[in-house]
């Protein structure tokens, strides 16, 4: 439990190994039949159990699928649970094809999807990205030509993700919702008017579906996203974002901008902020030299002071390997262009002794956690 400005907030550590929301269950009460028992994934710690009222979930606006829906998820039981959330109880039954990431190894998976002819696709960003690597150009045109709606959740969409998904689903509108395991009904809803207003906000801008506040704001008014649910009270999500009060054509009055996972997509260190989107911008001119990269940020002791330190692992291209100064070249280029405050680059903070010069190492391959590509993280 953390107390911020006099308000108590639950965190993931408070949920570990516990059963939350069971106080809603009253023996003999018909309302008990409306409870959904859900286990969190446990990827960031010990799994916890949640008892959630389906009335609260289905009371929100949800799409009604009356056409073939392809669901790509990590576990089939979890997929079916999500399918229930995305189908109104009164809607006509849809044809569902639920596939896990392991199914991509099956020799007939492309033919099965081609015969199924999905019109809607629902998945997590990283899982769908991996799943689509199964298909060649000819296979994708036959399997996904009828897809009109691609609904995504999970981590932040990159420009590369958007290009990939549009190439696989050329006739589909891409929508993205913001949700966490602890709030099965979703936290932020997609709005096409927001995308029109903020053309580069797909996967970042949402209208809140729950009471939301931002705590411990930085100089850019970005802080940790807190939500309030009946089961959890106020809860710190571990995600960074900012909340703007503004009217929308759809009738909503607030916009939630999700900046990413704290200590993964956005890292605070000795008064500076390192962000994955700004890293991508810094590495963009270096695409002829860098195949892949990952960055670790930490606080270090240097000459009896606490300073920032950045370690960059690079999978080099042949062009970069041919340079005798490969590590120094990458370190210098990144430091010159990586913005870490509103007005200053990493190079500026290195000159002032606030950060150490970035340490670059060349590697054959990057390590992956849970099969995911980790661009940025904070380490102790």
Distance of CA 295 to the CA centre of its chain: 18
Tell me which of 238 and 68 has the higher pLDDT: 238
10-20 burial string, b = 16+ CB within 10 Å, else e?
bebebbeeeeb
Mean pLDDT estimate for the chain: 80
Span 118-142, pLDDT tens digits: 888 888 888 888 788 777 777 777 8
**Gap between the Cα atoms of 46 and 81, Å rounded:** 21
Span 310-333, pLDDT tens digits: 999 999 999 999 999 999 999 999
Q: Is the pLDDT of residue 342 over 70?
A: yes
Question: What is the structure's pLDDT at 24?
Answer: 58
Which domains does the chain show, CATH number per domain? 266-378 (3.30.300.30)
Q: How far from 291 is each of 322, 361, 374, CA to CA, in Å?
A: 14, 13, 14
Question: What is the structure's pLDDT at 331?
Answer: 96
- In the predicted model, what is the mean pLDDT of residues 146-174? 86
Length of the chain: 380
Tell me which of 371 and 173 has the higher pLDDT: 173
Question: What is the structure's pLDDT at 121?
Answer: 87
Q: How far from 125 is each of 74, 154, 171, 175, 359, CA to CA, in Å?
A: 12, 6, 18, 11, 30
Helix (H, G, I), strand (E, B) or coil at 309: strand
| Percentage of the residues of the chain whose pLDDT score is greater than 70 | 76
Q: How far from 36 is each of 24, 51, 54, 100, CA to CA, in Å?
A: 11, 6, 6, 22
Question: What is the structure's pLDDT at 33?
Answer: 53
Span 242-261, pLDDT tens digits: 999 999 999 999 999 998 88
Global confidence as pTM: 0.71
Tell me which of 296 and 93 has the higher pLDDT: 296
């Amino acid at each position: 439990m953390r107390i911020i400005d006099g308000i108590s907030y639950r965190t993931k550590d408070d949920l570990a190994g516990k059963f939350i929301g069971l106080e809603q269950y009253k023996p003999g009460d018909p309302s008990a039949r409306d409870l959904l028992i859900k286990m969190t994934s446990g990827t960031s710690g010990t799994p916890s159990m949640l008892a959630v009222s389906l009335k609260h979930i289905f009371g929100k606006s949800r799409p009604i699928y009356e056409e073939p829906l392809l669901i790509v998820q990590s576990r089939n039981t979890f997929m079916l649970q999500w399918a229930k959330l995305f189908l109104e109880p009164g809607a006509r039954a849809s044809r569902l094809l639920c596939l896990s990431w392991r199914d991509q190894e099956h020799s007939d998976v492309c033919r099965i999807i081609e015969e199924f002819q999905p019109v809607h696709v629902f998945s997590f960003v990283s899982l769908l990205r991996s799943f689509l690597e199964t298909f060649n150009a000819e296979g994708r045109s036959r399997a996904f030509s009828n897809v009109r709606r691609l609904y995504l959740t999970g981590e932040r969409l990159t420009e590369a993700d958007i290009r990939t998904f549009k190439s696989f689903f050329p006739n589909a509108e891409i929508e993205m919702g913001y949700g966490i395991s602890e709030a099965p009904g979703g936290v932020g809803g997609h709005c096409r008017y927001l995308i029109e207003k903020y053309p580069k906000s797909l996967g970042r801008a949402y209208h809140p579906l729950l009471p939301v506040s931002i705590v411990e704001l930085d100089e850019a008014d970005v802080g940790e996203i807190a939500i309030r649910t009946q089961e959890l009270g106020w809860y710190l999500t571990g995600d960074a974002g900012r909340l703007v009060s503004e009217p929308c054509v759809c009738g909503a009055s607030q916009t939630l901008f999700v900046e990413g996972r704290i200590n993964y997509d956005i890292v605070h260190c000795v008064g500076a902020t390192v962000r994955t989107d700004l890293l991508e911008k810094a590495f963009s001119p270096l695409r002829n030299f860098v195949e892949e990269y990952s960055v670790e940020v930490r606080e270090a002791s240097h000459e009896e002071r606490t300073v920032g330190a950045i370690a960059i692992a690079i999978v080099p291209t042949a062009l970069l390997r041919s340079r005798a100064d490969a590590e120094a070249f990458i370190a210098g280029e990144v430091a010159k262009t990586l913005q870490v405050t509103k007005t200053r680059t990493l190079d500026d903070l290195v000159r002032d002794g606030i950060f150490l010069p970035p340490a670059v190492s060349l590697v054959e391959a990057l390590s992956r956690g849970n099969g995911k590509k980790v661009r940025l993280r904070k380490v102790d």
